[in-house]
A = this chain, B = another copy of it.
Amino acid sequence: MSPIQNARVLFNSVPKGFPVPGETTVYDTTPTIDPDTVPLNGGFLIKTLVLSVDPYFRVAMGGSHLGFTLGSPLAGFGVAVVVRSETPSVAVGKHVYGHTIVHQEYNVIPELGALQIMEKHPNLLWSVYLGAAGMPGQTAYMGWKEYSNAKAGEVVFVTAGAGSVGSMVIQLAKKDGLKVIASAGSEEKGEFLRSLGADVAFNYKTTDTRAVLQKEGPIDIYWDNVGGDALEAALENAAVHARFLQCGSISGYNSAQETSKMFHHINAKALHVHGIIMAHLPLMKYLPEFYATIPAQLANGELKYTEEVTRGLDKVGDVILAVQKGTNKAKAVVLVAEE
């Protein structure tokens, strides 16, 4: 084979507000690669199949030490197939999964490192392993099991309930016998929340969150994916000893908005606030049971999920913006290539 295009998505500039496709990120078609002859030096060559676009991307664009590097391609959760290998433990045809998949069509990987060989349930697409069966689903699963201290009959409020984290939390909460209040940003998503079992589902753009929580609360658990005004409303309607699981605050990623009066509520109601982030959750404690149960339940319909798959690496910038604005309809995945 002669050299072919090896397109990539570069992190080009730190955004001031929302990321701008073509400016914050640039789709670059200039690199080439010859998959048959590119030197592997003991490593292996992967072809990118699916890439996850997650809310944390905006944080990673802020210049923190965990973030994207200016002038380099983005990297994130993804699944790729091994097309050539000089690593004995990584056979051709196997799939690798992890948070370091570079947003480029082909990549030479010197060693497995943080990637893992992943087996897929036959009835699931790989994209599901970036959502309900991947990092977002695992974050929901581990955070809920470790920190919710959920008891049957309690009331939980879940924001961004139609997302891959929120929709898993709703279903775990229903399994545990809780009353679930869930919000999302459209009527269509509200229907999905009800299909997941949410007892109270509403569109936060047309229904006042405070009014709902005053009527249906107080809440014993708040799973926060958004921060901002929803968090304030949850604080105001929290029961004593309520647990606040702080998984995200996308409402503040693109502006300087701050949350006020937090500590008054934390102290007065003896709240318990836990930061929920994949990197610091007890993976060894929960991942074996997660993989033993969740993919099968997703495949047989016992657990529901949705995803919004966009075709083409050139669309990454648009999808990033959609995720930050919440205009995506479900967990956002970019399909880079078929196998």
Is A322 interfacial (CB 8 A cutoff)? no
Q: A252-B263, A263-B246 are in contact. Are A268 and B258 (CB under 8 A)?
A: no
Instruction: Please measure, in the bound complex, the distance between the C-alpha atom of A265 and the C-alpha atom of B227, giving whole angstroms.
Output: 13
Residues of B close to A13: CB separation below 8 A: none
Instruction: Please measure, in the bound complex, the distance between the C-alpha atom of A272 and the C-alpha atom of B261, giving whole angstroms.
Output: 18
Stretch at the interface among A1-9, A127-135, A273-281: A273-281
Please state if B258 and A261 are interface contacts (CB–CB under 8 Å): yes
Which interface class (under 10, 10 to 19, 20 to 34, 35 or more) fits A? 20 to 34
Which of these, B240, B241, B266, B277, contacts A267 with CB under 8 Å? B277
Please state if A276 and B280 are interface contacts (CB–CB under 8 Å): no
Please state if B268 and A277 are interface contacts (CB–CB under 8 Å): yes
Instruction: Please measure, in the bound complex, the distance between the C-alpha atom of A275 and the C-alpha atom of B242, giving whole angstroms.
Output: 10
Is A269 interfacial (CB 8 A cutoff)? yes
Number of copies of this chain in the oligomer? 2
Please state if B258 and A266 are interface contacts (CB–CB under 8 Å): no
Q: Measured between C-beta atoms, what is the minimum distance from A243 to chain B in Å?
A: 10
Which residue of chain B has the shortest Cβ distance to A62 in the bound complex?
B264
Please state if A274 and B263 are interface contacts (CB–CB under 8 Å): no
Which of these, B227, B231, B260, B267, contacts A246 with CB under 8 Å? B267
Instruction: Please measure, in the bound complex, the distance between the C-alpha atom of A260 and the C-alpha atom of B227, giving whole angstroms.
Output: 13
Q: A258-B260, A263-B227 are in contact. Are A273 and B270 (CB under 8 A)?
A: no
Please state if A270 and B275 are interface contacts (CB–CB under 8 Å): yes
Residues of B close to A276: CB separation below 8 A: 267, 270
Q: Measured between C-beta atoms, what is the minimum distance from A73 to chain B in Å?
A: 23
Q: Measured between C-beta atoms, what is the minimum distance from A160 to chain B in Å?
A: 14
Please state if A240 and B280 are interface contacts (CB–CB under 8 Å): yes
Instruction: Please measure, in the bound complex, the distance between the C-alpha atom of A252 and the C-alpha atom of B265, giving whole angstroms.
Output: 13
Residues of B close to A227: CB separation below 8 A: 263
Which residue of chain B has the shortest Cβ distance to A227 in the bound complex?
B263
- Which of chain A's residues 225-249 have a Cβ closer than 8 Å to chain B? 227, 231, 240-241, 246-249
Instruction: Please measure, in the bound complex, the distance between the C-alpha atom of A327 and the C-alpha atom of B83, giving whole angstroms.
Output: 72
* Max chain B Cβ within 10 angstroms of own Cβ: one of A266, A267, A274: A267
Which of these, B252, B264, B272, contacts A273 with CB under 8 Å? B272
Q: Measured between C-beta atoms, what is the minimum distance from A296 to chain B in Å?
A: 29
Q: Measured between C-beta atoms, what is the minimum distance from A250 to chain B in Å?
A: 11
Instruction: Please measure, in the bound complex, the distance between the C-alpha atom of A279 and the C-alpha atom of B240, giving whole angstroms.
Output: 10
Residues of B close to A259: CB separation below 8 A: 262-263
Instruction: Please measure, in the bound complex, the distance between the C-alpha atom of A335 and the C-alpha atom of B259, giving whole angstroms.
Output: 42
Instruction: Please measure, in the bound complex, the distance between the C-alpha atom of A271 and the C-alpha atom of B276, giving whole angstroms.
Output: 8
Residues of B close to A279: CB separation below 8 A: 270
Residues of B close to A270: CB separation below 8 A: 274-277, 279-281
**Beyond A258-B261, A271-B275, A273-B273, 11 additional pairs, beta carbon < 8 A:** A249-B267, A262-B262, A262-B263, A266-B274, A267-B276, A270-B275, A270-B279, A270-B280, A271-B273, A271-B274, A272-B272
Pairs of residues from A and B, 3 with the lowest C-beta to C-beta distance, nearest first: A270-B280, A273-B273, A270-B275
List residues of chain A with CB under 8 Å of any chain B CB.
227, 231, 240-241, 246-249, 252, 258-277, 279-281
